[in-house]
Structure 1
Amino acid sequence: MESGDAGPGGRHTGSGGGDTGPGGDDSADPGGGGHGGSGECAPSDARCTDNRVQRCSDHGQWGAPEACPAEAPVCRGRTCTAPPSCDGLPSTCGPGSAESCCATAMIPAGSFDRSNNPEFPATVSGFLLDRFEVTVGRFRKFVEAYPGSQPVADAGAHPGIQGSGWNPAWSSELPADAAALRAAVTCAPDNPDMATWTDAPGAHDHLPMNCVSWYVAAAFCAWDAGRLPTEAEWNYAAAGGSEQRQYPWSSPPESTEIDASYASYDCSESAAPGCTFQSNFSDIVPVGSRSPRGDGRWTQADLGGSMREWVLDGFGDYPAPCVDCANSTDTAERVVRGGSSFGKPNFLLSSERVNVAPSTVYYSIGIRCARTP
C-alpha cells in the first residue's frame, strides 16, 4: 500500500478539505460505600466519578474529584489503576524495556491549526494519550475477555462530544466470538504473513497490533477504559500544539529533518532499504523503538512511523473552527493518521490525513487510545 500508500482505496491530502469502560465510574453509588445519597460519607470512603477519584474528608464530606496520575490513568474499583489491557502485564515496553505498555501522558488544553493550516483553527481540552501504540500483548487481554469485552451503547465517548460513543448498530461489524476475532486480525486473505497477532504469547507481544478494523479499534479502546482520539486531538499531539511541528519530533518546529533514528518508515529495517510491492515483516519494530529521539512534544512515541492509527472521525471536510470538535457522522470512510513503517516521509508529516473504509484491515494500521483525565 504505502510507497505512495494512501490506504486501500484511499487518498491522502496535505490539508483537510459516557461510559469509560469496565469499572470506570462508581458514581452510580452516591455514597461511595453505602452511606446514602445526601453527600455525606465516612472518612475512609472513596469513589470514582467521570474517571476521577473522589475522597471523603475527615469531616464526612466528599472532596473535589482528583485526576488519576499518568502511571495509573483509570479510576476503577474506587482507586486509580492501570487500564484493563495492562492488568498483570510486566513493565517491559519502551527503549529501556522498563515502562508500562499502557504508559500515558497528559496533553494540556490549547489551540492550534489543523494540518498546520491557519484556515482550520481548533481548540482541544486537556486529555490523556497513550505513550505507545497498542501492543499485541495488550490486545491479547481484549481477546481473552471477548465477546464480553464488546462495548455497550455510548461506551468510549468523548465527554464533550454528544453522539461520539459506541453505536449499537456497529456491533454487527464485530466478530461474533473470540475465535472469529483471532481470525479477523490475521490480515487474511491478502497479507497473512504481515499480521503481528499470534495465538500464543511470544516475541510478537511488544510489536504494535495491526490488521484491526476501525470497529475493532474503537471497541478495544472503549473496553480499555478509554476511547479513540478525535482527529483534532491526534493532530494537536503530533503537531506539538501551537508549535505546529512539521514532524512530531521537529525541533525547531519547522525542521523537516528525518532519518531512521527518528522513525520506522520506508522499510528502513530491511536489508535492502526501500519498499517494494512485497513488504517485509522485519520492518515492523517494537513500540517505542525510536524513543526518545522520535517522541512528540508530550512524550508519545511513534506518532510518525510504525503504524498508522485510527481516529474517531469520519472522513470529510474539517468541522468549522471549534472547541473539542469531531466529525461524528457515520461516514463511508474514517480517518487514519500518522505514517507507517512502509510509508514515504511525506506520510509522517503531522499535517497528513488519509481516508480508509472502517471495515478495512491492513498491516500498516494500528491503535492508540486516548483517555479522560
Structure 2
Amino acid sequence: MPSRFGAVKDSSNFANNKVSHEGMVLIPAGQFAMGASDQEGRADEYPQHQVKVSSFWMDVTEVTNASFKKFVDATGYQTTAERKPDWEEMKKQLPVGTPKPPDSVFVAASLVFYAPKKVISLNDASQWWRWVKGADWKHPQGPNSNIKGKENFPVVHISWDDAMAYCKWSGKRLPTEAEWEFAARGGLKNNKYPWGNEDIEKGKPKANTWQGSFPIKNTDWDGYNSLAAVKSFKANGYGLYDMAGNVWEWCSDWYRPDYYAKLSGVANNPKGPADSYDPMEPTVPKRVVRGGSFMCNAAYCKGYRVTSRMKTSVDTGLEHTGFRCVSDN
C-alpha cells in the first residue's frame, strides 16, 4: 500500500487503562501449521511452518467508530490522516536530493476508493485510489461524508501509528501475525478460510467482500457495497467476527517477504522480523495487515484467505484499513 508520509504521533502520554476483557474472547494456546499449503498463496505465504502460540484475549470485532471516539474524546488524539504530512519524515522515504514539493500539497488527506469507468491494468492500484483532502475516520469519503448512524461500523483511515496509540490507551496491543492467523482459523486445520473450504461465493454469504468485476462493478450479492457493521456475518469457531473481509487489520509485525523461509523448527510465539524490507519499495518501512477487506475479489485479491498477507507503510490509512486488539492472558 502507498505511503502517506505522515509524522508519527507521540502516544507516550496516553496512560494505560486497566485492561477490560469485555468484548473479547480467550483464544486457547496451541500449535498450528502457519502459511499456505495449497497453490493459491503469494510467494510470501510459503513455506508453511509450525508455530506455537500462548493463550491470549482478542477483540470479538474490529474496533468500531464508537470505541475509537471514546479514545479520541479521552485523549484529544489526532490521527495521521488529520495532520499535514511532515516533509522531514517524507524525505526519509525518497531518493536523496528529491526537491521539496510546494507547500500547497501538504494537506491533511487520506486514500479513498473510487470506482473507475474502465481499468487498464489490475497492477495499477492508482486507478481506484485517490488522495482526498479532509478524508479521515470521521469523514470516510471526504469532508462531505460522516459516520452518523455508523457507530457500530469498523473505524477506518487508521494508520499503524493510530492503532498503536489506541492500544496503548486501552492497555492492549496489536496481535502478532502468528496470533492473528491462529485466531482466524478458529480451530480449523489447514482450511482456506475462517469458515472452512467452501468458496466465498458458494452457499450463503460468509464475509463482506467484492462480487462482480473489480473495481468497476460490485453486485452486492453479500448485501454490502462497501463497509458493513461489525457482526454482520457469522463468527468463526472462536467467536470472532469479520476475520475475513470488511477491513484489513493491522498486526504488530514488520513485513519481510522471506521471513517464513528463515524460521526453523517450531517457532514459539514469533513476533516477526527485526525490521522491514519490501523489495518493491525498499525505503518505505511497512507492517503486516491481515484479513482482506470489502474490496477483495478473487480476480484481484483473495485477502480473505487465512494465510494471505499484505504490507502497508506505517503512516498510511485507507478507507478499508482498521484493526482489532489483543491482550495477554
Of 311, 326, 329, the residue aligned with 1:355 is: 311
Pick aligned residue for 1:229 from 175, 194, 198: 175
1:313 and 2:224 are equivalent in the alignment:
no
Question: Normalized against structure 1, the TM-score is what?
Answer: 0.57
Q: Deviations over 1:80-129 (max 9, x none)?
A: xx4xxxxxxxxxxxxxxxxxxxx111110000111244741110000111
The answer for unaligned runs of 5 or more in structure 2 is 4-13, 38-46, 80-88, 91-106, 113-129, 277-284
- 1:211 corresponds to which of 136, 157, 161: 157
Aligned counterpart, 1:304: 244
CA 1:113/1:342 → structure 2, altered by over 3 Å: closer, same or farther? same
Q: TM-score, normalised by structure 2?
A: 0.64
The structural deviation recorded for 1:274 is: 3.8
- Distance in 2 separating the partners of 1:191 and 1:367: 22
Greater Rg, structure 1 or structure 2?
1
Partner SS for 2:150: helix
Q: What's 1:110 paired with?
A: 30
Aligned-residue CA RMSD (Å): 3.3
- Which stretch of structure 1 is more off in the superposition, 127-136 or 280-289? 280-289
Look up the match of 2:205: 261
CA contact (8 A) 2:173 2:327 kept: yes
- The answer on 1:127 being equivalent to 2:83 is no
How far apart are 1:8 and its partner, in Å?
3.5
User: Is contact 1:112–1:242 with CA below 8 Å preserved after alignment?
Assistant: no
Which structure would you say has the larger RCO, counting Cα contacts within 8 Å and 6 or more residues apart? 2
Q: Quickly say closer, same or farther: Cα 1:184–1:130, change in 2 above 3 A.
A: farther
1:278-330 CA distances to partner (integer Å, 9 max, x unpaired)? Answer: 9999511111111x2xx222010000010010000001113623111112524
Structure 1: which 4+ aligned runs deviate by more than 6 Å?
Answer: 278-281
Report matched runs for 1:49-198 at 5 Å.
72-73=20-21, 82=22, 103-117=23-37, 119-147=48-76, 187=111, 190-191=131-132, 197-198=138-139
Q: Is the 8 A contact 2:185 2:306 kept in 1?
A: yes
Residue 251 of structure 2: SS of its match in structure 1? Answer: strand
Asked whether the 8 Å contact 1:196–1:207 carries over to 2, the reply is no
Q: Is the 8 A contact 1:240 1:296 kept in 2?
A: yes
2:321 is matched with: 365
What does residue 339 of structure 1 align with?
Answer: 292
Among 16, 21, 31, the residue aligned to 1:22? 16
SS state of the match for residue 71, structure 2? helix
**Which residue of the partner structure matches residue 267 of structure 2?**
322
Match for residue 275 of structure 1?
A: 214
Deviation at 1:192, TM superposition (A): 6.1
Task: For 1:184 and 1:216, locate their aligned partners in 2 and report how far apart those are by CA, in whole Å.
Answer: 15
Give the distance between the partners of 1:307 and 1:126, measured in 2 at CA.
25
**Using the alignment, how far apart are the partners of 2:133 and 2:209 within structure 1?**
20
- Quick check: 1:231–1:313 contact (8 Å CA) kept in 2? yes
Alpha-carbon deviation of 1:369? 0.5
Number of corresponding residues:
242
- Aligned mates of 1:185, 1:218 — CA distance in 2: 20
Paired residue secondary structure (1:283): coil
Q: Work out the CA distance in 1 between the residues paired with 2:159 and 2:134.
A: 17
